[in-house]
Amino acid sequence: MNVYRLIVCLSRILIITAFEDLSYNKVSTQTPIYPGNSYNASCTNHSVCGNGCDTKCPINCQDSLCHIQTGTCFACKPGWKGDTCEKKCGIGLYGEKCTQQCSGNCKDNETCNHVTGQCDNGCTTGWKGDMCDNECDNGTFGYDCTNNCSTYCLKELPCNKKTGYCDNGCNPGYTDSDCNTRCPFGHFGRACKESCNEHCLQENSTLCNHVGGECLNGCKQGYIGTHCNNSGEEGHYGRSCSFDCSPNCDTCRHTDGFCTCKAGWLGYNCTTECPPGHFGLDCKDNCSGHCINNEPCDHVSGVCPSGCQDGYTGTRCNNSCEKGYYGGNCSKVCFPNCKTCRNTDGLCSCIAGWMGSNCTIECDQSYGENCRYACGEHCQLTLWIIGSSVALGVSVVLIIITCIFTILCKKSKKTKIRTDDKQPGLTSTATTEHPGTSNMASNYQELVTDGERNTYESILLK
């Protein structure tokens, strides 16, 4: 079916073309081709028409040929249409019989030239050529493709051929839609989202590389590395970490070397020993003052390097001897008659009745602490009386104890004999007690008690 239609169309085109050629040949020889047409045989100019051959064919007739009677054009010049070819091709069309379409890429949306199809005022952005039908080459953009794309579009991709924008973004270090602007000061990287390290040195309004962030002028004191993000090895400080911290530092600030000192040291860099008599952290501790020969203690630990004075022990000599001991290393024992004993040399204060530096001398004709009270003239008699009284009292007490013990023994024997005499009657008599029994027992106890009292009294009288 499609082939059939194609054949029909081609046949019609051939017939029309042959007819126009025939008409042209007839006109050129002033031979009438339509029935009833009349013409003036004296018209020899092919571009005129009418009875008097005095009317020019329309200006836009193809080859200036028209019908000699009506003046209609057999065909129009390219870009024109109508019976007399007085109308331009419609918008967007051009050329022979106005059958060709403009490219649509003329500047400011203008239509193309209706005759040639060219864009008389140039091409819109992204196109080039007389008819603006050729797209810009990669790397160019704009009106007539006269502008070059930025070389900083991401991964060197071509920019937008109309706008010049890098639609896929920019390479690191560049920003804006066309990627022609470096990252602003202090920023770097993709879309300039990264900030330069705060430890980069600034010189002449430069800080870090806009692409990779490397510090262009080096690092501030205490930092190293291309991005100045490393504080260096421990024990070093300053520019490029090229200075050594003092060995006496407990901590060392990597920027300027400021130290917190170990025990026994002072100063900005901990190079000054504690003054004599002090030791420890910040030298706040005092030496004991009991080091032998008054030597200063160690400024770090407080230890007495040569030992302690008499009367003190411990590595720092800050412990006095225990009670009862004195001397070097507290190795000597105080004398037994000392009330107090000085830990350094054993000097005593004596208990009553003794005197001397070591309390080894007994008081003679004196008494009290350090024998400071003299005895009176009757001191010997008084002492004899006191001694005799004490001896007599002790003897009396011993006699009394002996008598009491003897009496108790006798009483125990009598009680046993009486119990043995009563035993037979208890087993054979009734429980009823004789009326006179109680009185007899009572009288017997009184006699025994009176007898014992008289014996005790007779002993005392003797």
Looking at residue 386, its pLDDT comes to 58
Q: Which residues contact 312 (CB under 8 A, 6 or more apart)?
A: 288, 290, 318, 319, 320, 321, 330, 343
401's enclosing H/E stretch is: helix 379-428
Place of tokens 């203008």: 110
Sign (positive or negative) of CA dihedral 237, 243, 244, 248: negative
Looking at residue 390, its pLDDT comes to 67
* Cα–Cα distance, 194 to 168 (Å, whole number): 19
Task: Name the nearest CA neighbour of 60 among 31, 29, 98, 91.
Answer: 98
Looking at residue 430, its pLDDT comes to 32
Q: CB–CB of 132/102 below 8 Å?
A: no
> How many residues are given for the chain?
462
Burial label, 223 (beta-carbon count in 10 A; 0-12, 13-18, 19+) = buried
Q: CB–CB of 352/369 below 8 Å?
A: yes
Looking at residue 4, its pLDDT comes to 52
Provide φ and ψ at 421, rounded to 5°: -70, -35
The DSSP bridge pattern shows strands 259-261 and 236-237 to be unpaired
**Could you give the residue ranges of the DSSP H alpha helices within 147-250?**
none
| Count of CB atoms situated within 10 Å of the CB of 196 | 24
Q: ∠ at Cα 352 (346, 357), nearest 5°?
A: 25
Q: CB–CB of 175/183 below 8 Å?
A: yes
How much helix, strand and coil, in percent to the nearest 5, is found in the chain? 30, 20, 50
Provide φ and ψ at 263, rounded to 5°: -60, 135
Looking at residue 377, its pLDDT comes to 57
What amino acid occupies position 424?
P
Q: ∠ at Cα 13 (7, 19), nearest 5°?
A: 135
Sign (positive or negative) of CA dihedral 196, 243, 275, 261: positive
The DSSP bridge pattern shows strands 100-101 and 93-94 to be antiparallel
Query: For residue 271, what are its two tokens?
Result: 């190079």
Looking at residue 391, its pLDDT comes to 74
Looking at residue 405, its pLDDT comes to 80
Looking at residue 241, its pLDDT comes to 83
Provide φ and ψ at 7, rounded to 5°: -65, -40
* Cα–Cα distance, 211 to 183 (Å, whole number): 8
Q: ∠ at Cα 413 (410, 419), nearest 5°?
A: 140
252's enclosing H/E stretch is: strand 249-252
Q: Render 66-124 in DSSP notation, one character per residue.
A: B-TTT--BSSBPTTEESTTS-EEPPTTEESGGG-EEP-S-BGGGPPPPTTT---TT-BP
Q: Render 314-334 in DSSP notation, one character per residue.
A: STTS-EEPPTTEESGGG-EEP
Q: CB–CB of 117/102 below 8 Å?
A: yes
For each successive 10 residues of the chain (462 residues), what is the average pLDDT?
51 49 40 36 62 80 85 91 92 93 92 94 93 93 93 93 94 94 94 93 90 92 88 81 88 86 91 93 93 92 93 92 90 89 88 86 84 72 59 82 83 59 38 35 36 39 34
* Cα–Cα distance, 32 to 34 (Å, whole number): 6
What amino acid occupies position 407?
I
